[in-house]
């Protein structure tokens, strides 16, 4: 089998961030959350950075998505709620999920109908051994803000995507798996399965392309990997040979032709988080298969 490793290096796009996560490409801009700086930003392909909204009440923005009318939804990790940016500077609560969430909320994907799928991480300590029975959940929020649980016993659901055929896939970083679900007409998740076993790798944020393959940011290996259903790795992009220096956390496909893979990296690794002195950057890699 040929070596899937690509020799194309990642190129810097923007730096000076605190903790960049949850990227989404839309209309010429990469939107993402700078969690510890309490703000949502966007950057274009030329590296022009723009503040979309800065939160001032202790919110920790994370997962992002857009309603059909273009309004931005933002997961709040500080409280179990999804916020909605109705106009510049005008934020409302789209959904209060306190009665449904177990642990903090994390990442999110929103479908074309405006249904938001948000991960509730569960009660485990990420540094502790894995629980026998994980209690993370996936919660679906309708466009009107009503919500229901659509998956339970998920091990720290993170980095969700929707594939071209409508399949919902979510990353379980602790279990090193991508978990897939079919969806019915009402948006319910059905036929749960291991979409890909990533061991001995890992996956945090993920991005889907037009062939239905998924790019995974693999923090513990310092690489990006493109994987097909069943686990075949077709491409590997080295990001760092020292994850204590730079660790890829999330990725998104976009750009003018859909072939730019944006990579959000944490500098200083886990030690920086522990010390409370995180720094993050966004880099780019050109790939062959575009976004859909």
Q: How far, in Å, CA of 41 to CA of 184, rounded?
A: 33
Q: How far, in Å, CA of 38 to CA of 73, rounded?
A: 15
**DSSP-derived secondary structure letter, 290:** P
The length of the chain is: 292
Per-domain residue ranges of the chain: 11-286
Q: How far, in Å, CA of 228 to CA of 218, rounded?
A: 15
Q: Three-state DSSP class for 273?
A: helix
| Each residue's pLDDT expressed in tens, for the chain with a length of 292 residues | 445 766 567 899 999 999 999 999 999 999 999 999 999 999 999 999 999 999 999 999 999 999 999 999 999 999 999 999 999 999 999 999 999 999 999 999 999 999 999 999 998 665 666 656 788 999 999 999 999 999 999 989 999 999 999 999 999 988 899 999 999 999 999 999 999 999 988 889 999 999 999 999 999 999 999 999 999 999 999 999 888 889 999 999 999 999 999 999 999 877 777 667 789 999 999 999 999 9
Q: How far, in Å, CA of 252 to CA of 239, rounded?
A: 15
Distance of CA 82 to the CA centre of its chain: 15
pLDDT at 1: 44
- Specify the residue for token string 């897939």: 180
Q: How far, in Å, CA of 197 to CA of 232, rounded?
A: 9
| Four-point Cα dihedral 183, 189, 193, 195, nearest 10 | 60
- β-sheet with 105-110: strand ranges across: 105-110, 116-120, 136-141, 147-154
Assigned token pair, 114: 């405006």
Residue 227: φ, ψ to 5°: -125, 145
Q: How far, in Å, CA of 196 to CA of 246, rounded?
A: 25
- Specify the residue for token string 């750009």: 255
Assigned token pair, 159: 């980095």
Is the pTM for the entire model greater than 0.75? yes
Longest dimension (CA), the chain: 54
**Superfamily name with CATH number, domain 11-286:** TolB, C-terminal domain (2.120.10.30)
Q: Identify the CA nearest to 34 among candidates 55, 11, 12.
A: 55
Q: How far, in Å, CA of 83 to CA of 203, rounded?
A: 26
């Amino acid at each position: 089998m040929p070596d899937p490793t690509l020799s194309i290096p990642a190129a810097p796009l923007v730096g000076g961030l605190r903790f960049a996560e949850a990227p989404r490409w839309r209309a010429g801009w990469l939107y993402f959350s700078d969690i510890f700086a309490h703000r949502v930003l966007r950057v274009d392909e030329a590296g022009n950075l723009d503040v979309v909204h800065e939160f001032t009440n202790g919110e920790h923005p994370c997962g992002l998505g857009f309603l059909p009318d273009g309004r931005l939804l933002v997961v709040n990790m500080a409280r179990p709620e999804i916020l909605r940016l109705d106009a510049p500077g005008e934020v409302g609560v789209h959904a209060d999920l306190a009665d449904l969430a177990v642990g903090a909320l994390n990442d999110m994907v929103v479908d074309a109908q405006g249904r938001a799928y948000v991960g509730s991480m569960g009660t485990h300590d990420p540094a502790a051994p894995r629980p026998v029975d994980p209690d993370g959940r996936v919660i679906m929020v309708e466009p009107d803000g009503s919500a229901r649980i659509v998956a339970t016993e998920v091990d720290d659901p993170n980095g969700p995507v929707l594939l071209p055929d409508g399949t919902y896939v979510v990353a379980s970083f602790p279990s090193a798996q991508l978990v897939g679900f079919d969806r019915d007409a009402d948006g319910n998740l059905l036929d749960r399965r291991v979409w890909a076993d990533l061991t001995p790798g890992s996956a945090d944020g993920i991005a889907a392309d037009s062939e239905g393959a998924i790019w995974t940011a693999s923090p513990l290996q310092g690489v990006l990997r493109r994987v097909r259903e069943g686990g075949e790795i077709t491409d590997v992009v080295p990001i760092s040979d020292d994850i204590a220096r730079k660790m890829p956390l999330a990725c998104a496909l976009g750009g003018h032709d859909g072939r730019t893979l944006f990579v959000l990296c944490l500098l200083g690794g886990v030690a920086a988080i522990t010390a409370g002195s995180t720094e993050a950057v966004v880099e780019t890699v050109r790939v062959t298969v575009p976004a859909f």
